[in-house]
Structure 1
Amino acid sequence: MGPSVDPAFVRSVGRWLRAYPRRWRVARGAEVTAVLADLAPAGARRLDLRSGLGLLVAGWATRWREHPPLLAYLGYVGLELRLDPRYRDWARDDIEGPWFAVRRWLVTFAVVGVIAWLPALGGDALSFDSSTFFRAWAPTILLGIAIWGGHWRARMVARQLVVHPGETVTPSGRIPGRVARPRVEARSWLAAARVVAVSVLVLCGVALAIAPNRTDAVLDGVGFQVTSAPMTTGTRAAGIGLAALGALVGLALARWAVGPRLRAWRPAAQPYRWVVPLGAPGRTRLAAAVGGGALLALVVPGFAALLAGPVAALAAAALPVLAAARRVVAAGGTGAVAGVDVVRALRRQPDRADLPVDGYLPAADWLPVGTVVPLPGDPAPPAPAPGTAVERRG
């Protein structure tokens, strides 16, 4: 694409191209956009409706052709059964998509719901309190997505993408190996931390403002008893005061400590580190964590009100610190390139080199695409190209 193409036109084409699978967009999206820009009238800022609908129909047709059959798909979704290798590229798109972890928990939720309804099939009366059921399960689902989403992806990569002997190597094929350790880049990490801090501060403010009671512990002889105490005006004011004090502390740290610590921090050589953006799966887990925390606060409002003051103070202190760190990182005034670097710099911890971790390497780094993986006893494949995938990613 030439420099004269309007960025708004590129974004318009990109929206229509979302009808195609992700891997198709990565491979051919720029080429299609360039062709459409050449065919569009001079100064066009958006793709015309007819061409857009053509992309939409063709994109969904491509998805339909490459989608596994219904029974195979249901086995993949419900029982994690291995798909035929010819659907490996589709499986990779699905596993790396933002909704993968969400669907895994929804499947679990559906299975539990079916089990709960089984007694009714035998004629037994079914007692079902929808309010209690959803209040208990919704935070569990969201927090499960946030905590175990990465583990589920790694497990499905091992089950669906790893190339077995006798199978053909595809671009999405993987082999187990030692890989560079992935670290979230500093800007993405700081943005995610700001989202968490703002969300926590808002939740604490809501709890201090409207919670009628708070959990309290009363000493009773040698033990204590958990009770509920009314939220008084003094308690609410104390919580707000703690948040204000935290903000003042954070402003002081942001002015006098953040910049000098980040600029003075010296990174170590990281040959086995892979700095990555947060990405769509990471944003999904972040949103699930925030939503799960909010629902949990609604389920146990007394406990949320008890912790609202101190937690609000920490969140209020973190916001100016994170803003100052972002300015230093954006200006290039520090050697911190990953989120863990920022944490170490602010805590005055020396950097240490990451070590390789267990993971999965592209099978194409071992054998060319289209090659059949040798069976046990077959001749060894030719040596790979110089430089391992770990070294290239480092």
Structure 2
Amino acid sequence: MFLASANAQTVEFNSDRLGKDFDRVTLHVDDYKLCQRICSDTEQCKAWTYTPAGFNQYETPQCWLKDGISRGFERESAVSGTFPDRVAPDEEVGERPPSDAAAAAWEACKDEKFGKHDYSDLCLVNKAVEEFDASFCDAHQGPLRDSCKDSVAWSVKNKCNELQDADKKDLCLRAVFVEFPSNTVCMDEENLGGLELECHLSLAHETGDRSAFLSKIRNMETEDRDVWIAALAAMELDYDLLELIEDNRTHDQLLTMISANRIGAGRHVEPGVCAAVVGGYTDADGGLNASSWADLCVQTVAMARVVADWADGRSIQEVLELQEQMEDYFESGDPAGDFSDFPMGLGQAMRDEIAIARSDLRVAAVTQSGSTNAEAPLGPVLDLDFDNVEDIPSTSNCVFGTC
């Protein structure tokens, strides 16, 4: 069902516009209108898709923000929308497959028939296999796309098996699992060798569907499961996955790293994100305990903001020079103890950002874009007193964002 509003917005029920995502917001209100409002308030956003709780294995509603108008597919319970006025006159929109390769393949196959029967789908699969190009498969969605990608992967795998040199054959097979991930390929544990994690990571990242990944880790030992979750969280800069991490130290390290990397990528991070560290461990690598890790998180987030702001518009040479000076600075151990000697005269900016980073977490939970539109909090976050970091509880069973 398609609706158009008077102010050049569209709403499409049971529609999922795939691709062109630049951010994802975890919603705490089960209402597509919230997603629509977030997109409306975000200048870069030209389209959006809302998915309810339980969709694609996400436990909470999700809002996918898009910087272009991609192809829509019929998917029950998803809701999408567009802002046509934000699209440049020469920008391609509408029912175009996700890539030029897929578009060309589908254009060549869409009218193919075998007698009176539609041959277009099989034609597309054959082209993908002939060219060893799984991107052709993206002209379709759902089971057809998956089976098409499986066909490409197995075709390449058969070519690898024809190689006589054992080392080249092994290298070729390993490349298949990473470059052509699919549910079928990733379940081929006998031939995956040490690349099982890489295959499942590529599959989850490429498709946005985590069902196979979550199914794989369900019966793992806690330590192994944390490693897998941490790898996906780091790849996708995804706070939500931290709720599944059981080891507090791993959780806090990832929280810090993801926050710094999101800032570097120009994505929103709540100023008080470090208030969501869990703690509960007595020591960590390098002698850091839970209290000092919280303070390190604050400094890391502050430094990421200072460097990102300073680097905006600077040349690569200038950025590399700052990095070299920072390495020398930290090797000297901050002689003044107050960042006054921080390179490029950024000491005051560091102190200002540290003060901001020590603020309370003011939203219900740290979401993917930090939207403050959440109206139904999941629960309180760990209350940290950064003026007396030793007050952090020594034991805690809190999961990320809640206690």
Normalization by structure 1: what TM-score?
0.23
Normalization by structure 2: what TM-score?
0.23
- The structure with the larger Rg is 1
